[in-house]
Amino acid sequence: MALFDLPDFDDHEQVVYCSDDASGLKAIIAVHSTKLGAAVGGCRMWDYASDEEALIDVLRLSKGMTYKNAMAGLKMGGGKSVIIGDAKTLKSEALFKAFGEALNGLNGRYFSAEDVNITTSDIAIANTVTPFVTGTEGKSGNPAPFTALGTFLGIKASVKHKFNRDDLTGLKVAVQGLGSVGYLLCEHLHNAGVELVITDINQSTLDNAANEFNAKVVGLDEIYDQDVDIYAPCALGATINDQTLPRIKASIIAGCANNQLAEQRHDQALLQRGILYAPDYVINAGGIINVSFENNYDMEKSRQKVSNIYDTLLDIYVKADIQNRPTGIIADEMAREIIKNGGK
């Protein structure tokens, strides 16, 4: 595989492969850009089908962090890491200490945090051997509640733009994935009077959510066929693709998952179908915004900054309408401009 020729490589500053035989650690750390500051982005643990799949995932996620941090007005660069393996069987104290040592190798060019299958306890173990982690308990803590809040506000901005209304009462939202963020998003939506349709691979989470939010449960694949106003992808990426796109009846796609579009061209396809797409790294920036307050934590300031996601999305939507171009491309252009101007 020619790494430098991969479309997802996209000029990464550094890609580091880490392994530790004793703990079974196999990880990839990708630093896309440190132009605005040290790279910051979470660590994902996943049982990838191949090392190549893990590499593509970390490269796409890492680049997304560069754009996310720039658009959120943070003086942070973009990076991400993945630990390859089954989180149910491979997690151990030794594994996260080895991961922490791997972070030490980058000497502060990259700070890691929670992402899929990585908890604050895992990060706390890494933190015993490295200072290069963030989102730690006792400081900014778990980013998920802030990601959920930002996503909820992003859904409100999307509804304002698409339907010209401020309240969500009676709207139908299909939520795919009820993990750390998706579950809390459901809580916000339920409290706002939304009718929820939900799916997840975890039956007990589904049962809890169905009870708590009076939600309709559908099968994993059925989620794309639902007659809803909004589809909120909150599991893994690439769920908007050639197979699912023709099935989606929602007028808005707005969820917290990273890398929702299988390919950039699906952004144009969404525009043609009249579906308003909330660019993933803009709507899901609440967690990283909260993490940016790590060393001087102030929850109220954090919530205020997270609420800017509403206006940022409206700004993107207006520009996209005027130019009749996809929202994702508009967001990318805005992010690149911010990076070019040193964060302004």
x/- binding map, residues 151-190, to ligand NAD, per CB under 6 A? Answer: -------------------------xxxxxxx--------
Scanning residues 135 to 154, which ones bind ligand NAD (CB under 6 A)?
143-144, 147
Kindly state whether residue 202 participates in binding ligand NAD, applying the rule CB under 6 A: yes
Kindly state whether residue 279 participates in binding ligand NAD, applying the rule CB under 6 A: no
> Least CB distance from residue 71 to ligand NAD, whole Å?
13
Dihedral sign, Cα of residue 95, residue 100, residue 105, residue 106: positive
Kindly state whether residue 127 participates in binding ligand NAD, applying the rule CB under 6 A: no
Q: Which of 18, 71, 74, 116 binds ligand NAD (CB under 6 A)?
A: 116
Q: Are strands 14-20 and 252-253 parallel, antiparallel or unpaired?
A: unpaired
- CA 59 – CA 326 distance, rounded (Å): 23
- 229 phi, psi to nearest 5 deg: -85, -35
Kindly state whether residue 241 participates in binding ligand NAD, applying the rule CB under 6 A: no
Taking alpha carbons only, the member of 320, 197, 324 closest to residue 248 is: 197
Contact region with ligand NAD (CB under 6 A), list: 96-104, 252-260, 263-271, 316-324? 252-260
Q: Which of 153, 235, 320, 331 binds ligand NAD (CB under 6 A)?
A: 235
Kindly state whether residue 243 participates in binding ligand NAD, applying the rule CB under 6 A: no
x/- binding map, residues 9-48, to ligand NAD, per CB under 6 A? Answer: ----------------------------------------
Q: Which of 199, 226, 312, 327 binds ligand NAD (CB under 6 A)?
A: 199
Go through 64-88 and write b for each residue having 16 or more CB atoms within 10 A of its CB, e for each that does not.
bbbbbbbbbbbebbbbbbbbbbebe
Taking alpha carbons only, the member of 270, 287, 8, 247 closest to residue 123 is: 287
Kindly state whether residue 62 participates in binding ligand NAD, applying the rule CB under 6 A: no
Catalytic residue set:
80
Taking alpha carbons only, the member of 186, 318, 331 closest to residue 260 is: 331
Contacts of 5 (CB under 8 A, 6+ apart): none
Q: Which of 14, 205, 307, 308 binds ligand NAD (CB under 6 A)?
A: 205
Kindly state whether residue 207 participates in binding ligand NAD, applying the rule CB under 6 A: no
DSSP 8-state code for residue 90: H
> Least CB distance from residue 30 to ligand NAD, whole Å?
14
Q: Which is nearer to ligand NAD, 173 or 256 (CB)?
A: 256
> Least CB distance from residue 26 to ligand NAD, whole Å?
19
Structure tokens at 65: 């962090």
x/- binding map, residues 303-322, to ligand NAD, per CB under 6 A? Answer: --------------------
In degrees, rounded to 5, the angle at the alpha carbon of residue 250 between the alpha carbons of residues 157 and 190 is 60
> Least CB distance from residue 61 to ligand NAD, whole Å?
7
Kindly state whether residue 257 participates in binding ligand NAD, applying the rule CB under 6 A: yes
- CA 292 – CA 135 distance, rounded (Å): 9
To 10 degrees, what angle do helices 327-340 and 308-323 make?
A: 110
With 0-12 CB in 10 A as exposed, 13-18 as middle and 19+ as buried, what is 342? exposed
Contacts with ligand NAD, residue ranges (CB under 6 A): 114-117, 143-144, 147, 176-182, 199-202, 205, 220, 234-236, 256-258, 284, 287
